[in-house]
């Protein structure tokens, strides 16, 4: 089963970058690119995930962009609502500020900040309860791939959240497959390997929900203009989660363009 009729998503994960001046320049340059050569929303959805403190200002700066550019939170609290939780931002507070999307389960959160499966599950639950849309990240380590466990690990990560998502809430889920060994390393999964994993993920999702064929599955891990077109050409790769290359307006635009064109 292929997801090739899905409108692609290209989302820039800015991580703990950039300084304000660079962020303003990046936004301006991206708006200019989109003005010169528009990408319609029917061709490709575009989003960026800035640092939490910049979410609203980035959203404002994109308000007059030729396209709707979604502001995506990079994380949210495992605590819901409001309360005495110093340093935390809940799903409800994101929603209250007009943020509609959130990344959950990024490998950097899992590996560096101790987001265990149960923390990831709490975050997913909170995001769904607050009606946020989730970009749910999955992916195996190099050791897991070399041990032949890649599929098992990734499908388990999908299963980790399956019971939490109510039937109609699958409309609010986007999956991002990001092999950990490909993140920030310059190494990309080959289009064949990526497509094979995406097809497995789609098969798994389709066993869980009738919406499985409609869920966008993004690829992430050293996506750049040079490899975007061949990744975009794969039937079950419905977009990209872009780290490093999203900090350069031209590169990010070219990646979005590659996905927009591939689905024409
Ligand atoms: P990268 O990061 O494009 O720099 O590899 C991707 C990600 O972590 O989302």
Q: How far, in Å, is the centroid of ligand 1 from the Cα of 88?
A: 24
Out of 110, 242, 247, give the residue to mutate to test ligand 1, the one with the largest number of ligand atoms within 8 Å of its CB: 242
Above pLDDT 90, what percent of the chain? 94
- Give the helix/strand (H/E) hosting 218: strand 217-220
What predicted TM-score, i.e. pTM, was given to this entire model? 0.97
Q: 61-75 pLDDT, tens per residue?
A: 999 999 899 999 999
Is the model's pLDDT at 49 over the cut of 70? yes
CA distance 128 to 163: 12
Q: 168-211 pLDDT, tens per residue?
A: 999 999 999 999 999 988 888 899 999 999 999 999 999 999 99
Select 9-261's CATH number: 3.40.50.2000, 3.30.70.100, 3.20.20.70, 3.40.50.2030: 3.20.20.70
Contacts of 216 (CB under 8 A, 6+ apart): 3, 6, 7, 8, 9, 174, 175, 238, 239
pLDDT score recorded for residue 223:
97
CA distance 97 to 228: 33
45 is catalytic: no
Which is it for strands 173-177 and 133-138: parallel, antiparallel or unpaired?
A: parallel
Q: What is the mean pLDDT of residues 91-99?
A: 98
178 is catalytic: yes
CA distance 117 to 239: 25
Q: 132-167 pLDDT, tens per residue?
A: 999 999 999 999 999 999 999 999 999 999 999 999
Is the model's pLDDT at 1 over the cut of 90? no
Is the model's pLDDT at 99 over the cut of 70? yes
69: Cβ below 6 Å to ligand 1? Answer: no
Annotated domain spans of the chain: 9-261
Alpha-carbon distance values, 59 to 23, 64, 97, 114, 205 (Å): 12, 10, 10, 29, 31
Q: How far, in Å, is the centroid of ligand 1 from the Cα of 246?
A: 9
- Any binding-site annotation on 244? yes
Token pair 């609203």: residue: 56
Taking residue 66's Cβ as centre, other Cβ atoms within 10 Å add up to 15
Q: How far, in Å, is the centroid of ligand 1 from the Cα of 107?
A: 10
């Amino acid at each position: 089963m292929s997801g090739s009729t899905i409108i692609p998503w290209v989302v820039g994960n800015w991580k703990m970058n950039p300084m304000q001046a660079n962020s303003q320049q990046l936004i301006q340059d991206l708006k200019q690119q989109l003005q010169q050569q528009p990408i319609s929303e029917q061709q490709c959805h575009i989003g960026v995930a800035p640092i939490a403190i910049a979410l609203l200002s980035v959203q404002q700066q994109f308000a007059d962009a030729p396209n709707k550019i979604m502001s995506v939170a990079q994380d949210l609290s495992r605590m819901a609502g409001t309360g005495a939780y110093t340093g935390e931002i809940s799903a409800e507070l994101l929603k209250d500020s007009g943020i509609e999307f959130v990344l959950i389960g990024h490998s950097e959160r899992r590996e560096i900040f101790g987001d265990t499966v149960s923390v990831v599950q709490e975050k997913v639950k909170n995001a769904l309860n607050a009606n946020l849309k989730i970009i749910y990240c999955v992916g195996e380590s190099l050791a897991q791939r070399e041990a032949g466990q890649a599929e098992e690990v990734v499908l388990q990560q999908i299963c980790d959240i399956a019971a939490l998502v109510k039937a109609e809430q699958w409309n609010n889920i986007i999956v991002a497959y990001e092999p950990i060994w490909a993140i920030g390393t310059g190494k990309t999964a080959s289009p064949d390997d990526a497509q094979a994993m995406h097809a497995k993920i789609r098969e798994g999702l389709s066993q869980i929900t009738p919406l499985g064929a409609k869920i966008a599955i993004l690829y992430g891990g050293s996506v750049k203009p040079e490899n975007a077109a061949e990744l975009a050409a794969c039937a079950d790769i419905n977009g990209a989660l872009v780290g490093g290359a999203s900090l350069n307006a031209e590169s990010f635009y070219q990646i979005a363009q590659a996905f927009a064109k591939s689905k024409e």
